[in-house]
A and B are shown apart, each in its own frame.
Chain A
Amino acid sequence: MSELAIRLRGVVKRYGPITAVDGLDLDVPEGTCVGLLGPNGAGKSTTMRLLTAQAIADEGELEVLGFRLPEQSKAARAECGVSPQLDNLDTTLTVEQNLLVFTHLYRIGRHDRRAAIERALAMANLRDRRDSRVDKLSGGMRRRLLIARALVHRPRLVLLDEPTVGLDPQVRQELWALIDALRAEGTTILMSTHYIEEAQRLADTVLIMSHGRGVATGPPAELVARHAGRVAVEVYGPPTRLAEAERDAREAGFATRRTGTSISVLGIEDRDGRVPEGERRPANLEDVFVLLTGEEIE
């Protein structure tokens, strides 16, 4: 039985007529990596801002590392590290100067600052670039520096808001290795993402969000088994053929989803109904994501 690093109950956050977070419950056990997965506008970033008290909930209970928010938020923030979605590094400073500033902001004692900076540089593999100005770094290096900055005070909890958004696949993999190393150290991580592969690879538990609500939660494999079964079949063809296949599959009781060029018919392994012809593949988290968050772009 592990303790919870984050506990949200019935959290609501409204911006005028828009309800960005709508009765959200979230548990993040200590020492685990939890992924908030959802399309743009699902409420992931607002949830992250609620956890640092940069947004104040209209309703509900929030606890971070045992501290009640927003009253005790400052104490909670002292033990959290935050890597934001939007780069907010000081671009005219060097890598090392950026970290130095945050050793002060996170109240690291004078004698420990040097070691803290060296450790963060090593984790982010930026030792060779310590004297480089931030505006001379690549996008991937800046992302690594953002994460290093969040780790400089050895936080118990790290909040990563879309840590790899807009990056090349190679750079993304590099960051995944960094986040995985953090996980291996036992740091608790809450990571928002709309990259399904990212959540599948890194998260012990995933909470799928849609319209500010949590619509499903569990380990990725369990979510796939629960909502999409084990095997899916991809049906290809012209639009009329796809529409026909979709209608037939639904009439036969299968869940389906569109992929753009094909129709995926899900959970075909335990069904006696007529299984359409097509390419079989294992069901995946993307199937669950689309099933639960909808096929239409809003």
Chain B
Amino acid sequence: MNGTQAARPATTLGRLERPALTGVLVREIVNFSSYWRSASFSSTVEPTIYLLAFGLGFGALVDQVDGYEYVEFIGTGIVATAVLFSSAFPAMFGTFVKYQFQRTYDAILAAPVDTEELVTAEALWISMRAGVFGCVPMIVAIFFGLDPSWGMLAVPGIAFVSGFGWACFGISIAGFANSFENFSYVVSAVLTPLFLVAGTFFPIDTLPEWAQVLANFNPLYQCVELVRSAVFGWEGWIDLARLGGLLAFGLVVWRIAIHAMTRKLVN
């Protein structure tokens, strides 16, 4: 009874394996079938209400903003809000619930899935949803006067890239949080200011110069500007730089999210 198996020195599974990512995504997709109505409702109706409230309210007072009719200005800018609402918030609350109360991640990590794969697949799933939900207010805006254009076909992609970063941001916050109450600080001190100075409701050149400089580091602002470029006409290298900024944001917060969740789940 004392013989031991020969150790298997060469047998390690790799990182970011497709079967592991697929497994986590399948779990999310199967689960989504049970709650898609409420998730779709909250992620699309809220930004649409913003669109209608500001579009119809301010639209009656303001004729043109930054060279656009107000419904065009807000109908494109609100995409970033929809992305934020459908990525950062579900990532923060969903991740916290799954590890703290449902212990879902304990079950997944007992299978051949590591934290890097878990976080990556969760962020991919949320960003796919953001890619779809982000477009809804823009489609609604078409019925209120936003002219359709071929460039709109790029908007789901922009929303996806932006959503990936915000999903990872939300997962990171959940990974560092000890309770739901911690989220209030992040929402009030980080997300609300970023949301308001993203150029969604008013152009940022109406802000003080220091705020305009800071706004350039706001991924939501970069998303808003990219969407407007897609809809009204590309701006070449500037848009590539904006896309690069969104990709860099996503890459940095992706690694932070993996670090935060590894710290939380493997101890």
What residues make up the interface of A, taking CB atoms closer than 8 Å to B?
A: 1-5, 7, 15, 27, 29, 52-56, 63, 65-68, 71-72, 74-75, 77-78, 80, 82, 84, 86-93, 97, 100-102, 104-107, 149
- Interface presence of B149 (CB below 8 A): no
For residue A84, which residues in chain B have a CB less than 8 angstroms away from its CB? Answer: 103, 106-107, 110
Interface contact B30-A100, CB-CB below 8 Å: yes
Interface contact B109-A92, CB-CB below 8 Å: no
Interface contact B23-A107, CB-CB below 8 Å: yes
- CA–CA, A88 to B19, complex, Å? 22
- CA–CA, A77 to B23, complex, Å? 14
- CA–CA, A159 to B26, complex, Å? 24
Interface residue from B1, B22, B27 paired with A1 (Cβ < 8 Å): B1
Interface contact B7-A88, CB-CB below 8 Å: no
> Interface residues of B, CB < 8 Å — how many?
38
- Interface presence of B4 (CB below 8 A): yes
Interface residue from A52, A65, A66 paired with B109 (Cβ < 8 Å): A52
Nearest 3 CB-CB pairings of A with B: A66-B5, A105-B23, A88-B103
Interface contact A88-B12, CB-CB below 8 Å: no
For residue A87, which residues in chain B have a CB less than 8 angstroms away from its CB? Answer: 103
For residue B7, which residues in chain A have a CB less than 8 angstroms away from its CB? Answer: 63, 66-68
Name the CB-closest residue of B to A76: B112
Instruction: Write the nearest CB–CB distance from A29 to chain B, whole angstroms.
Output: 5
For residue B19, which residues in chain A have a CB less than 8 angstroms away from its CB? Answer: 104, 107
Between A and B, 15 residue pairs with Cβ closer than 8 Å are A4-B4, A5-B5, A15-B267, A27-B1, A54-B109, A55-B267, A66-B7, A67-B11, A68-B7, A78-B111, A90-B27, A93-B30, A100-B30, A102-B111, A106-B23
Name the CB-closest residue of B to A97: B30
For residue A52, which residues in chain B have a CB less than 8 angstroms away from its CB? Answer: 109-110
- CA–CA, A31 to B34, complex, Å? 40
For residue A74, which residues in chain B have a CB less than 8 angstroms away from its CB? Answer: 12-13, 112-114
Interface residue from A56, A90, A107 paired with B267 (Cβ < 8 Å): A56
Interface residue from A29, A65, A67, A91 paired with B1 (Cβ < 8 Å): A29
Interface contact B27-A104, CB-CB below 8 Å: yes
Interface contact B267-A75, CB-CB below 8 Å: no
- CA–CA, A80 to B4, complex, Å? 18
Interface contact B104-A90, CB-CB below 8 Å: yes
Name the CB-closest residue of A to B28: A101
Q: Which of B20, B27, B113 has the most CB of A within 10 A?
A: B27
Q: Fill in one digit per residue for B44-61: 1 if any A CB lies within 8 Å of its CB, else 0.
A: 000000000000000000
Whether A3 contacts B112 in the complex (CB less than 8 A), given A72-B11, A104-B22, comes out as no
Interface contact B266-A75, CB-CB below 8 Å: no
- Interface presence of B31 (CB below 8 A): yes
Q: In the complex, which residues 51-94 of chain B have their Cβ closer than 8 Å to any Cβ of chain A?
A: none
Q: In the complex, which residues 181-223 of chain B have their Cβ closer than 8 Å to any Cβ of chain A?
A: none
- CA–CA, A259 to B2, complex, Å? 37
Interface contact B103-A86, CB-CB below 8 Å: yes
For residue B102, which residues in chain A have a CB less than 8 angstroms away from its CB? Answer: 88, 90-91
Interface residue from B8, B103, B112 paired with A77 (Cβ < 8 Å): B112
Q: Fill in one digit per residue for B9-37: 1 if any A CB lies within 8 Å of its CB, else 0.
A: 10111000001101110110011001100
Name the CB-closest residue of B to A56: B266
Whether A75 contacts B8 in the complex (CB less than 8 A), given A52-B109, A54-B110, comes out as yes
For residue A105, which residues in chain B have a CB less than 8 angstroms away from its CB? Answer: 20, 23-24, 26-27, 108, 111-113
Name the CB-closest residue of B to A83: B110
Interface contact B31-A3, CB-CB below 8 Å: no
Interface contact B23-A55, CB-CB below 8 Å: no
Interface contact B26-A104, CB-CB below 8 Å: yes
- CA–CA, A84 to B109, complex, Å? 12
Instruction: Write the nearest CB–CB distance from B114 to chain A, whole angstroms.
Output: 6
For residue A72, which residues in chain B have a CB less than 8 angstroms away from its CB? Answer: 8, 11-12
Interface residue from A27, A29, A67, A107 paired with B8 (Cβ < 8 Å): A67
Name the CB-closest residue of B to A66: B5
For residue B6, which residues in chain A have a CB less than 8 angstroms away from its CB? Answer: 66
Whether A93 contacts B106 in the complex (CB less than 8 A), given A3-B3, A72-B8, comes out as no
Interface contact B5-A53, CB-CB below 8 Å: no
- Interface presence of B251 (CB below 8 A): no
For residue B1, which residues in chain A have a CB less than 8 angstroms away from its CB? Answer: 1-2, 27, 29
- Interface presence of B265 (CB below 8 A): yes
Name the CB-closest residue of B to A92: B34
For residue B104, which residues in chain A have a CB less than 8 angstroms away from its CB? Answer: 88, 90
